[in-house]
Each structure stands twice: as C-alpha cells, then as structure tokens.
Structure 1
Amino acid sequence: MTELDDIDRRLLRALSLDATRPAADLGRELELSQPATWRRIRRLREIGAIKGRRLDLDAAALGFGVTVFLGVKLASRGRAGLEDFERAVCAIREVQTVEHVLGLYDYRLRVVARDLEDFERVLRRRIMTLPGIGPVEANVLLSEERLPGPL
C-alpha cells in the first residue's frame, strides 16, 4: 500500500464530505495549485484510495418506503454455490447491497420495496427462489440515525 501523507488525508476528508468540489477550491483549502490537486486526486484513484463517485438517492422520496435487512444462510456450501447465489441475487434490482459476512449468516442483503406487500412479493418470488438459499432472517429498518462519514 502506498503511504498517504497529511495532504492526501486532508484531500480525502474534503472529497468524502463533498466529491463535487472543484480542484481549484480544494487546492486553495490545501494550499496547493489546481494542477497539483488534480495530480494528487489522479494518484489517489490509481492506487485505489478513491474508488469512484456516487450519487445518494432518497429511497423514500422515490417511492420505496420500506428497507429490510436480510440475513441469509446458504443451504449448500462450496465455491459454485456461492458464485451461483451471488450472480442470482445481484440480478434482483430491489437488492441494494450484497455483503458476504462471517458469523451467524453467510450474506447480509439490504432490500428496498414500495411497502410491506411489495417486500413480501420480492421475498417470496425472487429471494426465496435463489439457488442454495437456506434460512433467512428479516429486520425492517425503522430509522437511520448515522450516515457513513469520512474514515
């Protein structure tokens, strides 16, 4: 891993708060020229410290009023089972995140739906028919108090 200096860390912190800020603005804050700021941003992308930019949408404002976290245990083990499950679950558009985890469950899914009836439809017709699916535990999101911030 490439070492990050204090300026790199300050630049990453500023970008994590607002990735749309112009390089000239960031440079003024960091006491760098615009080209020097761009070179640092490009280097941070190249070494993988910056993976991309993302637009955060408000699911509720877009008509998705229910978010459910599913703990999924696979019935069958093995590399082929994992790959088949991952490929199939990633094709379900209501599944927002797929996390392979260590613990009680093999996967943790974040699923959005318009309402509980819509979630039940997604669960019964799409998720419970996935290859290798075993026991599933659902937790409905009531509120989200903390949003991801800078590392």
Structure 2
Amino acid sequence: MDELDKRILRRLATDGRTSMSDLGDAVGLSPTPTARRVRALEETGVIAGYSARFDDEKLGYPVTVFVSVQLDKQIDEALANFEQAISAFEEVVDCWLMTGTRDYLMRVSTVDLKEFERFLTHRLTKVRGVASIESSIPLRRVKANASRTP
C-alpha cells in the first residue's frame, strides 16, 4: 500500500459515496486508475465493505448505555451461548469480546431508560451464564470515526 492508496482510503472514510471522478480529483489520479486501486483494495480485503452510519438519536433511540458482562465460565460453550443470545437482541448495537476483568463490552441503544431497564432485567440477566453486569451511561461523544485510516 503506497501513499496514493492511503489517500484514497482517507477520502473514502469521510465519504464512501464519492464518485471515482471526484475521488480521483482528490488524490490526483484520473478515474480509471483510481477505480483500479479501489478494486485492488477491495479484493485484498483492505476495504471490507461499504455501509451507512445512522444517528441513533434521530432514529428515536437517544439513550446509549455501555454494558460490561462477565460470564461465570470462559469456556467455548459459554462464549458461544452468550454470543448467540446477544445476536438476537436488537438493542445491542455493538458487542466485543474483551480481555481484562469483563468478558464482553456492549453498546446498547434504547428509546429511554425504562426500555433499557426492561432490556436489562427481562432479557440480559436471563442469558444463561451471565455472572455480573456493569452499566455506564455516556454523557457525550467526544470523538467518532467510522474506522482508523492510514
């Protein structure tokens, strides 16, 4: 990956819908070589896909809560059971398997704190193997990037 590829990635990170012509202008190439480079970045998996980012608040989900979960066992079966259960919960926007004192960190998005409470008490606490849960409510987002660029 050379400097031109990095410039292409930085531009696509800010506007993934840009045309090849505009992208080429931004990085100093004509559209055809720009398209070849983008295709090569896609084929090698550097560009893993394209998506739209949504504003949870404008969609009617203004409450975000970060939830840490510790399982009673960290064996493959327990991890798989938890991950399968979480994949069915639409309130869970993101979920990561973690190192450290907690096994999972999730970002949960709901319409209000009452809905979060229902999710917590009626769904998450019922998942087999959950030993403890810790919730943190963010005050405001300080920085947001779609992904890290070179």
Question: Which TM-score bucket, shorter chain as reference?
Answer: over 0.9
2:133 corresponds, among 132, 136, 149, to 136
What's the counterpart of residue 11 of structure 1?
A: 8
What's the counterpart of residue 30 of structure 1?
A: 27
Q: Is the 8 A contact 1:66 1:141 kept in 2?
A: no
Structure 1 unaligned runs (5+)? none
State yes or no: 1:45 paired with 2:38.
no
Give the paired residue count: 148
Aligned-partner residue type, residue 3 of structure 2: D
2:145 corresponds, among 129, 143, 148, to 148
CA RMSD of aligned residues (A): 1.2
TM-score of the aligned structures, taking structure 2 as reference length: 0.94
Cα distance in 1 for partners of 2:130, 2:27 equals 50
Q: CA deviation at 1:38?
A: 1.1
Q: CA deviation at 1:103?
A: 0.9
Between the two proteins, what is the percent identity of the paired residues?
35
Structure 2 unaligned runs (5+)? none
What's the counterpart of residue 59 of structure 1?
A: 56
Q: Is the 8 A contact 1:68 1:112 kept in 2?
A: yes
1:77 corresponds, among 74, 79, 88, to 74
Aligned-partner residue type, residue 108 of structure 2: V
What's the counterpart of residue 88 of structure 2?
A: 91
TM-score of the aligned structures, taking structure 1 as reference length: 0.93
Deviations 1:28-77 (A, max 9, x none): 22222212111111111111111111211111112112100001101122
Deviations 1:115-139 (A, max 9, x none): 1101000111111111211111000
What's the counterpart of residue 20 of structure 1?
A: 17
Q: CA deviation at 1:104?
A: 1.5
What's the counterpart of residue 68 of structure 1?
A: 65
